[in-house]
Amino acid sequence: MSSYIQEAELVKEKTNGYRLDKSHIFAVNLFDDFDKYMNVPYEWTPAQIKPYTPGENLQQWLADEKARDLFVNIHAGAFTEVFATVGDKKEGWTNILYDPSISQGGALICVAKAPRSKSVDDFEVQTATYNS
């Protein structure tokens, strides 16, 4: 008898949520689910609100004091490109191309861009202090 229950649960696990086409999804319910849905209480009770507990800060890398950033691009197995950025556009950036088949000991090519020169669009707001 328990093999039927296990088989029914396996069928539900494998087929429930199966997408038949673009707008239809196959849904499977066990007979036990019908009993559960038929015995819903008539009295509404509000949900219990859990106290807030702060989790891990997933945006911690945005608060780096030197504005360092690192990301990797993999180009269809041809080579791996590693970008390492320190500071903003005013401080420049570094682009490292790494190919593990050729460069086993380190970077294949390393290109650094010099800080950009001042532009007409660059301006700093001068705050005025008045004594009254």
Do 32 and 66 sit in the same domain of this protein? no
User: What pLDDT shows up at residue 75?
Assistant: 75
Residue 3 backbone zone (phi > 0: left; psi -120 to 50: alpha; other: beta): alpha
**Is residue 29 assigned to a domain?**
yes
**Is residue 43 assigned to a domain?**
no
Question: Which residues lie across from 74 on neighbouring strands?
Answer: 80
Residue 30: how many CB atoms within 10 A of its CB?
Answer: 14
pLDDT tens-digit readout, 34-82: 888 888 888 988 989 999 888 888 777 666 666 667 777 777 767 666 6
User: What pLDDT shows up at residue 76?
Assistant: 74
How far apart are alpha carbons 72 and 77 in whole angstroms?
13
Highest mean pLDDT among 35-49, 87-101, 103-117: 35-49
**Is residue 22 assigned to a domain?**
yes
**Is residue 45 assigned to a domain?**
no
**Domain of residue 97, residue span:** 61-113
- In total, how many domains does the chain have? 2
Do 66 and 33 sit in the same domain of this protein? no
User: What pLDDT shows up at residue 56?
Assistant: 84
Banded pLDDT at 15 (limits 50, 70, 90):
very high
- Does residue 106 have a pLDDT over 60? yes
| pTM beyond 0.85 | no
Tokens, residue 12: 């539900």
Residue pointed to by tokens 């593990």? 100
Do 68 and 108 sit in the same domain of this protein? yes
User: What pLDDT shows up at residue 25?
Assistant: 93
How far apart are alpha carbons 26 and 16 in whole angstroms?
6
How far apart are alpha carbons 2 and 28 in whole angstroms?
19
How far apart are alpha carbons 21 and 108 in whole angstroms?
48
